[in-house]
Amino acid sequence: MGARLVNQGSIRYALSMTVTVRFAPSPTGRIHIGNARTALFNWLFALKNKGRFIQRFDDTDVARSTQENADPIFPDATDYQSKRFDIYDAAVERLKKAGLLYPCYETPEELDLRRKIRRTRGLPPVYGREALKLSAQEIANHEADGRRPHWRFLLPNFSSDPQEPERTEIRWDDLVRGEETVDLASVSDPVLVREDGTYLYTLPSVVDDIDMGVTHVIRGDDHVTNTGVQIAIFKALGAEPPAFGHHNLLTTTTGEGLSKRTGSLSIESLREKGVEPMAVASLAVLIGTSENVEAVPTLAELAERFDPAATSKSAAKFDPDELFALNRTLLHRMPFAQAQDRLQLLGIAGEQAEPFWNAVRGNIDRLPDAVFWWRVLREGPQSTPELSDDDRDFLRHSFDLLPEEPWDAAVWKEWTGRIREATDRKGKALFMPLRLVLTGLSSGRSLQIYCRCWVGKERWPDDPDLPVGVRFPLDGSGLL
């Protein structure tokens, strides 16, 4: 690809003002639900405006960016910043020729000392542009000592003398936050190019947005100050800045930020835990907004409810328990046709699969949980429960009280009512022995799942006198 820097205005007109957004994560770790929030805000905005959604990797941090981290995000990503350095090089040369990019030779220790000195003088700890005053001899001395420059962008926050910055407001109408202002005199000239010639995030992001015709940039509100700087860079490169929107960030319930590097609530881990994609999408989009957080079954329906301006300015605390509650709701409402292919991969297939799913879906937290019930109802409990002699007598009596077939959905209530009246047992004393012998478990969801799947009584294999093993029939007959 040859070096080029396209004017954004020409692209916008060529696309007839097509709304174009992008999701551009850095592949330095596993993306988490907070990253998914940004991706979905952009995707839904494009969907509502019949626009384009661009996939891009901001991978200029070559030391920490890996293909291993990139592949789970965008297996078919179309653009990598690490493959576009010629375009950024062209932008650098343009800024140098305009006198807007200047070399600096300070070490991190020297910069830290200067910030401390400025603080003691009651001044903001911003870069004082000392490098602009270096003589040719001083630069030669630095070079002779083996120092290599990093390059800073000269912010337009002065009238004539860069050493005398003055309040310079950059304003924009934020898609999320409304009117926003950044004073360029309150921030340092940003470093765009490191000593080793590699790029920081700031310049490649602007150049890519220009080159790709991005019209709207929607991202986290930790970029608000960045936006003021980047708007200045857009203008320095002769491009009209896009519209910006900054949504609130997600934190843990204790207020800590999410991090790709630690794997906090990564999308990969949530997938492995069996969380439905639309549970993640529903919570990621609706939390921290004026909308009620509830399970939305499709992205199209979520787009109808999506409004960037409805987002709060305060951080939103993410509670995983809320995510799993949404997951249960989605499963409980999921039609068999939607679950069929995934159930088949789990070995749940045949004529029995649909009535089984309709019976079991309201009793599971994750779709793979259906496998347990499939085995229990077809094969009986997977372990033999320990029962007292009293409980064995109780269960023999209880199964003698089963209503005559055919059964309907009311059989559970009728049967347990008979047991309660005949034995004077109630609560745990009544239901625990039934749960143990039907499922092999001492806890779980409602046992009413069985009244949707029972067809008859079989004897418990280890006790021919105990007619309590209830199994799912191989032919599926009698399902209600």
pLDDT at 149: 97
Q: What is the pLDDT of residues 430-439, one digit of tens each?
A: 989 888 888 7
Q: Report pLDDT for 220.
A: 94
Asked if residue 70 has pLDDT above 70, the reply is no
Q: What is the pLDDT of residue 65?
A: 46
pLDDT at 374: 86
Region 191-214 average pLDDT: 94
Mean pLDDT of 389-408: 85
pLDDT score at 382: 72
User: What band does 303 get if pLDDT is binned at 50, 70 and 90?
Assistant: very high
The mean pLDDT of 62-70, rounded to a whole number, is: 50
pLDDT in tens, 131-158: 999 999 999 999 999 999 999 999 999 9
Q: How far is CA 98 from CA 82, 236, 237, 446, in A?
A: 25, 9, 10, 72
Helix (H, G, I), strand (E, B) or coil at 191: strand
Q: Which two tokens stand for residue 292?
A: 């009620």
Give the separation between CA 328 and CA 351, rounded to whole angstroms: 25
Check whether 2 has a pLDDT greater than 60: no
* 72 vs 290: which has the higher pLDDT: 290
Least reliable range by pLDDT among 34-43, 75-84, 363-372:
75-84
Q: Which two tokens stand for residue 101?
A: 């990019």
Mean pLDDT lowest for which of 102-111, 232-241, 389-398, 409-418? 409-418
Q: Which of 56-70, 196-210, 393-407 has the highest mean pLDDT?
A: 196-210
| 450-471 pLDDT tens trace | 655 553 334 333 333 333 333 3
pLDDT at site 304: 92
Residue 5: pLDDT band (50, 70, 90) is very low
pLDDT at position 294 over 90:
yes
Q: How many helices (H) and strands (E) would you count in the chain?
A: 18, 12
Q: Which of 1-10, 68-77, 100-109 has the lowest mean pLDDT?
A: 1-10
Query: Looking at the predicted structure, is the pLDDT value of residue 52 above 80?
Result: yes
* Dihedral pair phi/psi, residue 98, rounded to 5°: -85, 0
How many Å is the maximal CA-CA distance in the chain? 104
- pLDDT the model gives residue 62: 55
Give the pLDDT band (50/70/90) at residue 441. confident
Q: Provide long-range contacts, Cβ within 8 A and 24+ apart, for 181-188.
A: 182/224, 182/225, 182/227, 182/228, 182/229, 183/157, 183/228, 184/155, 184/156, 184/157, 184/228, 184/229, 184/232, 185/157, 186/124, 186/126, 187/126, 187/155, 187/225, 187/228, 187/229, 188/126, 188/127, 188/152
465: Cα within 13 Å, side-chain hemisphere: 5
pLDDT at residue 474 greater than cutoff 90 = no
> For residues 443 and 360, is the Cβ–Cβ distance under 8 A?
no
Q: Is the pLDDT of residue 367 over 80?
A: yes
pLDDT given for residue 174 in this prediction: 96
> Residue 466's pLDDT is what?
34
Higher confidence at residue 54 or residue 474?
54
For position 331, what pLDDT does the model report?
97
Amino acid at 32: H
Q: Enumerate the H helices of 32-165 as residue ranges.
A: 33-48, 67-70, 85-97, 108-120, 136-144
Q: How many C-beta neighbours within 10 Å does residue 173 have?
A: 11
Report the interhelical angle of 320-333 vs 277-286 (nearest 10°): 130
pLDDT score recorded for residue 82: 78
Q: How confident is the model at residue 284 (pLDDT cuts 50, 70, 90)?
A: very high
pLDDT level of residue 200 (50, 70, 90 thresholds): very high
Calpha distance 201→62 (Å, rounded) = 11
Per-residue pLDDT averaged across 57-80, rounded?
Answer: 56
Q: Answer yes or no: are the C-beta atoms of 365 and 326 closer than 8 Å.
A: no
| pLDDT given at position 60 | 61
What mean pLDDT is reported for the chain? 83
The reported pLDDT for the residue numbered 147 is 95
pLDDT at 453: 57
Contact (CB, 8 A) for 222 and 247: no
What is the model's pLDDT at position 78? Answer: 67
Please tell me the distance from the alpha carbon of residue 301 to that of residue 289, in angstroms, as a whole number.
Answer: 16
**Least reliable range by pLDDT among 216-230, 252-266, 276-290, 408-422:** 252-266
User: What pLDDT score was predicted for residue 467?
Assistant: 34
469: how many CB neighbours lie within 10 A of its CB?
18
The pLDDT tens digits for 13-45 are 334 478 999 998 875 567 788 888 999 999 999
CA distances from 168 to 79, 125, 158, 229, 322 (A): 35, 17, 8, 11, 44
What is the 8-class DSSP label of residue 257? B
